[in-house]
Amino acid sequence: RKEVEQDPGPFNVPEGATVAFNCTYSNSASQSFFWYRQDCRKEPKLLMSVYSSGNEDGRFTAQLNRASQYISLLIRDSKLSDSATYLCVVPLGSARQLTFGSGTQLTVLP
Amino acid sequence: DAGITQSPRHKVTETGTPVTLRCHQTENHRYMYWYRQDPGHGLRLIHYSYGVKDTDKGEVSDGYSVSRSKTEDFLLTLESATSSQTSVYFCAISESRETDTQYFGPGTRLTVL
């Protein structure tokens, strides 16, 4: 089992839709988790940090479930500009290094 | 955007040749990282640095070496490039602990023929 697993998608949704991604991780004692977005052939950029049980920023909501070891990202009222790959990031290991999921691809259709 | 540049942005080289990639930051951040990104694998850590002359190995360090002689520069060297090292290489920086938010450079696309 991979340490951080994401459904690769692709998720194709119409504009205005609500879409949710899940990310499961093997084990972490960390207090912080992250969602990054990556546009095609570009560098990853921080979307949200997730502390304690969750975080909300406008149309984006991230939730953390430690008991079940998963993080979710909810996007409401999807925009065309939300089309990207979303990377789940979990601190794992004794060196507390960040481990990146392979990403979930989202395409928002007009 | 964080001040991170990478050079070169694109490189094509032949198997067996040495290659050095440069990462330069203007943020004065202590931590710097080199990742590679390949389809189906996500981003994987090659090496990282926690200060000048202080470096450590990541998940996929075989075939790579690094050096950091100044806070702002972190070099990644492929001593003898192989086709399996064809990838996109990203540099990242963070201000303090390893698990703080990391900011990425624009990437270097390396092709080894």
Handedness of CA A20, A33, B32, B40 (dihedral sign): negative
Contact at 8 Å (CB) between A63 and A72?
Answer: yes
**pLDDT score for B79:** 93
**Tens digit of pLDDT for each residue in B41-57?**
889 999 999 999 999 99
The two tokens of residue A26 are 């093997």
pLDDT confidence band for A7 (50 / 70 / 90): confident
pLDDT confidence band for B98 (50 / 70 / 90): low
CA distances from A80 to A15, A41, A51, A109 (A): 6, 18, 28, 7
Task: Name the strand (E) or helix (H) holding A56.
Answer: strand A54-57
**Is the CB of residue B2 less than 8 Å away from at least one CB of chain A?**
no
**Tens digit of pLDDT for each residue in B51-82?**
999 999 998 999 999 999 999 999 999 999 99
Describe chain A by its helix, strand, coil percentages, rounded to 5.
5, 55, 40
Mean pLDDT of B23-29: 96
User: What residues of chain A lie within 8 A of the CB of B103, using their CB?
Assistant: 46
Q: How many CA atoms lie within 13 A of B14 on its CB side?
A: 0
**pLDDT score for B108:** 98
| HEC secondary structure over chain B | CCCEEEECCEEEECCCCCEEEEEEECCCCCEEEEEEEECCCEEEEEEEEEECCEEEECCCCCCEEEEEEECCEEEEEECCCCHHHCEEEEEEEECCCCCCCCEECCCEEEEEC
- Residue A80, min C-alpha distance to chain B (Å): 22
- B5 to chain A: nearest residue by CA? A43
Q: What is the C-alpha separation between A81 and A103, in angstroms, rounded?
A: 17
Percent of chain B with pLDDT over 90: 84
**pLDDT score for A8:** 84
Contact between chains at A43 and B104 (C-beta distance less than 8 A): yes
Q: Is the pLDDT at A42 greater than 90, yes or no?
A: yes
Tell me which residue in B41, B98, B105 faces A97 most closely, judged by beta carbons: B98
Contact residues for B22 (Cβ-Cβ < 8 A; gap 6+): B6, B7, B73, B74, B75, B76
**pLDDT score for B101:** 86
Mean pLDDT of B6-17: 97
Mean pLDDT of B31-49: 91
pLDDT confidence band for A44 (50 / 70 / 90): very high
**Tens digit of pLDDT for each residue in A45-74?**
999 988 877 889 999 999 988 888 889 999
**pLDDT score for A1:** 60
